[in-house]
Structure 1
């Protein structure tokens, strides 16, 4: 083949390739659509408005490492006060906790969130736990009554 023919064919192929990129195909003009609405998860608060509601479960007490730290409501935790942690009860709720084995009870105020251990219903301060049971046991079967 002659070099001029090869050059002519090569130039033609190159021109066709370049022109094919300039076409208005619907496939290339489609702009990607992004769904901007995100699904919303609505969590309804647990209603604990009934006074004297009785719940049975297990209670534990705070470790000493939490002494002096902030609780979930911003108060400084004190092992000597009669306070407790509960996952859903509103802060300030007063709860009567009774040890079912010896029938001793204590009234505590919820000021923190927890316990985060499966099977436990309420975390008591050390002084509250000591009022109804022996701290060596670590966990007690209790009856919890919501007072306010």
Structure 2
């Protein structure tokens, strides 16, 4: 092939590459732009201390076989302490549990997960359960107030 033909093809290709770089595309750019001149207002929810969450449900108590075993947060379970198990509340949450039939109540600390029996809301240590009802009943209708 002749060198002059190669040179013309090379210059023509170079001209097309340069010309294609100068054109604009009809497609929108994918760049995200933010208007930084406008102030952003962040509104935080206001917490009211008087509005404790109240939930009605059924409470049961731990069997004696759990005495001395580790709870979900790593503590050793003791039937004599006022503790409880709840499926979702954070460990260390204080909860006031009131028996709706006799209006007796006890404040317990959540330190375990459970109960894993359908229809039950909270599992109490036997001493906490005895404070509000008779252990022979096994299950109590209770009102649970989340304190802290």
Q: TM-score, normalised by structure 2?
A: 0.66
Q: Deviations over 1:50-101 (max 9, x none)?
A: 7610000000000000000000000000000000000000000000000000
Query: Which residue is 1:125 aligned to?
Result: 125
Query: Which residue is 1:6 aligned to?
Result: none
Query: Which residue is 1:110 aligned to?
Result: 110
CA RMSD of aligned residues (A): 1.2
Gaps of 5+ in 1: 1-48
Gaps of 5+ in 2: 1-46
Q: TM-score, normalised by structure 1?
A: 0.66
Which SS does the other structure have where 1:107 is aligned? strand
Which SS does the other structure have where 2:123 is aligned? strand
- The number of residues matched between the two structures is 100
Runs of 4+ displaced beyond 6 Å:
none
- Distance in 2 between residues matched to 1:96 and 1:52, nearest whole Å: 10
